[in-house]
Amino acid sequence: MNAASHLRIGELSRRAGVSPELLRAWERRYDLLRPTRSPGGLRLYSLEDLERVRLMSRHIASGLAAREAAALAARASLGPEGDEAIAGTGGAPGAALDAGAARARLGRAIDHFDEPAAQAVIDELLAVATVDALLSEVVVPFLHEVGERWERGELSVAQEHFASNLLRGRLLGLARGWGRGNGPRALLACPPGERHDLGLIAFGLALRARGWRIDFLGSDTPVESIVGAARTLRPALLVVSAASAELLAPMAVELAELAREHEVAVAGAGARDFDPGDSEVLLLTRDPVMEAEGLGGRARESGLGDGLA
């Protein structure tokens, strides 16, 4: 296990989303952390401390008083927790999310292959928005815009690839650790021929924020592989996402079969035209966040955002 790793208070603050003043207050009042000190007297924190602060934030976000949250967080130093959540307590409270402006800036950055600018937009969004808001108000609409602009010929394939890879990197960054914990398992995959996995990743993040545990196979996965993985992992939920129903149709039989043992759902634009026949396959046609919410509040409380990279 990694122990040493020494973070100063500023870095801990950034990673946990809690202001340095508050961290010191929690230490003084509740003895939440006992950082070691540098020769000069600076506090040095470990990664376990980071987990503890995040846990405390989550307890507060779920309604506990700070003192109680601290007591719980201090006790659970080696519990099976390890979830990542972050309350927007730190930093500037103001700064509302202007999703439209953000999408516009993102679009301009893509037009010019300006990777740094695009990353900066996402950085700013992550600072003020929850993952849910980022997904449903920026990522998903933005993907739609890209698709429409591509159909109209306003966007080259190169630009679309550029944007996809950039977003994929960020979303997979947020996904780190989404296979952890012991919530219900969800197995996510795209059918053969489908290469648009961003919506599926978004869906996985939305599920993760609600306590699910994610197994992600991604784009273009052969049917027998999906079936095999489902047999191995026995997930509570299987989600297959495609942009077109034509890609889903060939595996309708297998899906119906799987639906007898797991909950099975199809998502993506292709779900709108998919014919489930008389099987138990769910159609998820709405926003990933809404659908994730609709799939049941398996999670104890609303998981919040996610830490920085």
Contact set for DNA, span 79-118 (CB under 7 A): 89-90, 93
Binds a copy of itself by CB under 8 A, chosen from 15, 103, 208, 262: 15
Choices 67-75, 139-147, 246-254, 297-305 (CB under 8 A): range interacting with a copy of itself: 67-75
Q: What angle do CA 26, 31, 35 make, to 5 degrees?
A: 90
Helices (H) and strands (E) in the chain, counts: 14, 7
Contact call for residue 227 and DNA (CB under 7 A):
no
Choices 8-16, 152-160, 207-215, 267-275 (CB under 7 A): range interacting with DNA: 8-16
User: Smallest Cα–Cα separation from 186: which of 222, 241, 234?
Assistant: 234
Of residues 19 and 285, the one with the C-beta less far from DNA: 19
The least CB distance from residue 70 to DNA, in Å, is 8
State the DSSP H helix or E strand holding residue 70, giving kind and residue range, or none if neither.
helix 66-75
Contact call for residue 24 and DNA (CB under 7 A):
yes
Binds DNA by CB under 7 A, chosen from 5, 21, 246, 275: 21
Of residues 124 and 293, the one with the C-beta less far from a copy of itself: 124
The least CB distance from residue 16 to DNA, in Å, is 12
Contact call for residue 250 and a copy of itself (CB under 8 A):
no
The least CB distance from residue 298 to a copy of itself, in Å, is 18
Binds a copy of itself by CB under 8 A, chosen from 25, 104, 141, 216: 216
What is the token pair recorded at 25? 């207050």
Choices 10-18, 136-144, 272-280, 286-294 (CB under 8 A): range interacting with a copy of itself: 10-18
Size of the site for DNA (CB under 7 A): 28
Q: Could you tell me if 33 and 27 are in contact, meaning their C-beta atoms sit under 8 angstroms apart?
A: yes
Of residues 66 and 223, the one with the C-beta less far from DNA: 66
State the DSSP H helix or E strand holding residue 69, giving kind and residue range, or none if neither.
helix 66-75
Strand partners, 282: 265
**Amino acid at position 297, single letter:** G
* List of long-range contacts for 37-45, beta carbons under 8 Å, 24+ apart: 42/8, 42/9, 43/8, 43/9, 44/6, 44/7, 44/8, 45/6, 45/7, 45/8, 45/9, 45/12
